[in-house]
Chain A
C-alpha cells in the first residue's frame, strides 16, 4: 500500500513535469530556449515516471529494465540535444541573447 502511494506521487509529479515541458516547447520564444523545455520532459519527466513505475514492479527484472531505459534516456538525450543545438548553430541559427561573454577561466 505504501509502495503504491510512493509510486503514485512519483508518476504524477513526473506527468506534471512532462506537461510543463510540453507547455515550454510551445511557449518559449526561440529555438535555443525551447531546448530547455524539451530538457524538462526528458530528464525529470521521464525520470520520475520510470522511478515511480519501479515501485510497482512485480519482479526485480522489470525494475532493472526500467532502470536500463532510464539510463539509456539520460545518456542519449543530452547527446541528441547537443547534436541538435550544434547543428542549428552551424546552420547559422543565432541564439537571441544580449551578449556573449568570456568566462574568467575556472580552475
Chain B
C-alpha cells in the first residue's frame, strides 16, 4: 500500500512537471488516467515493491551522491588528461572485487557507480563478485581500496 501510494505520488509529480499546466481540466484528466493505467500495469506485473520503488534509499542517496559527483569529476579530469597527453599513459587492468551490499539494488548502485566513474567499467557480475576493467593503475587501486563499496553499503543501510 505504501509503495502504491508512493508510485502514484511520483507519477503525478512527473506528469505535472512535464506538462507544466495546473489549470487545464483536460490535461489533468489525461494525467490522472495515465497514472491510473501505469499503476494498474505495475500492480499486475507485481513490480511495486521495495525493489521496483526503493523508497528506503533516497535518505542514504542524498549523502552518497555529492561524494559520487566529486569522485566522477576527479576521475574525469584524470582520464581526460591521459587521453590528450602524447604518450597515451594508460595501463589497462582487469580486477575482481567483492560487492559487500546486502541487496540486489545495492549491488546495482555499486556497479553503476563504478561504470559512471570514468577509468573504471563494470564488465561482469556473478553473485556478489564483480569484474571491473580499469584504464589505469590508480583507477584499479581506487576500486580495490573499497571506499565506494562501503559507502554504497551504508546507503542501503538500515533497510
Q: Which residues of B contact A3 (CB under 8 A)?
A: none
Q: Is the CB of A40 within 8 A of B80?
A: yes
Q: In whole Å, how far is B107's beta carbon from the nearest beta carbon of chain A?
A: 12
CA distance A60 to B96 in the complex (A): 44
Q: Say which residue of A21, A61, A89 sits within 8 Å of B124 (CB atoms).
A: A89
Question: Interface code B100-116, partner A: CB below 8 Å = 1, 0 otherwise?
Answer: 10000000000111011
Q: Is the CB of A28 within 8 A of B90?
A: yes
Q: Is the CB of B121 within 8 A of A39?
A: yes
Q: Is the CB of B83 within 8 A of A28?
A: yes
Q: Which residues of A contact B17 (CB under 8 A)?
A: 61, 64-65, 68
Q: Say which residue of A40, A78, A98 sits within 8 Å of B79 (CB atoms).
A: A40
What are 23 A-B pairs with beta-carbon distances under 8 A?
A: A23-B83, A27-B83, A28-B83, A30-B92, A32-B123, A33-B135, A35-B121, A40-B118, A44-B73, A47-B72, A78-B111, A78-B113, A81-B115, A82-B121, A85-B123, A88-B123, A95-B133, A103-B97, A103-B98, A103-B144, A104-B144, A106-B100, A107-B149
Please give the number of chain A residues whose Cβ is less than 8 angstroms from any Cβ of chain B in the complex: 47
Q: Which residues of A contact B80 (CB under 8 A)?
A: 17, 20-21, 24, 40, 44
B88 on interface, CB distance cutoff 8 Å:
yes
Residues of A within 8 A of B (CB): 17, 20-21, 23-24, 27-30, 32-33, 35-37, 39-40, 43-44, 47, 61, 64-65, 68, 74-75, 77-79, 81-82, 85-86, 88-89, 95-107
Give the number of residue pairs across the A-B interface with Cβ within 8 Å: 133
Residues of B within 8 A of A (CB): 17-18, 20, 72-73, 76, 79-80, 83-84, 88, 90-98, 100, 111-113, 115-119, 121-124, 133, 135, 144-146, 149-150, 153
Q: Is the CB of A107 within 8 A of B146?
A: yes
Q: Is the CB of A17 within 8 A of B116?
A: no
3 nearest A-B pairs in the assembled complex, by CB-CB distance: A106-B146, A107-B100, A78-B115
Q: Is the CB of A107 within 8 A of B153?
A: yes
Q: In whole Å, how far is B56's beta carbon from the nearest beta carbon of chain A?
A: 18
Q: Which residues of A contact B72 (CB under 8 A)?
A: 43-44, 47
In addition to A74-B116, A103-B144, 11 A-B residue pairs with Cβ atoms within 8 Å of each other are A36-B118, A39-B116, A40-B76, A47-B72, A68-B18, A85-B133, A89-B123, A89-B124, A95-B92, A95-B123, A101-B95
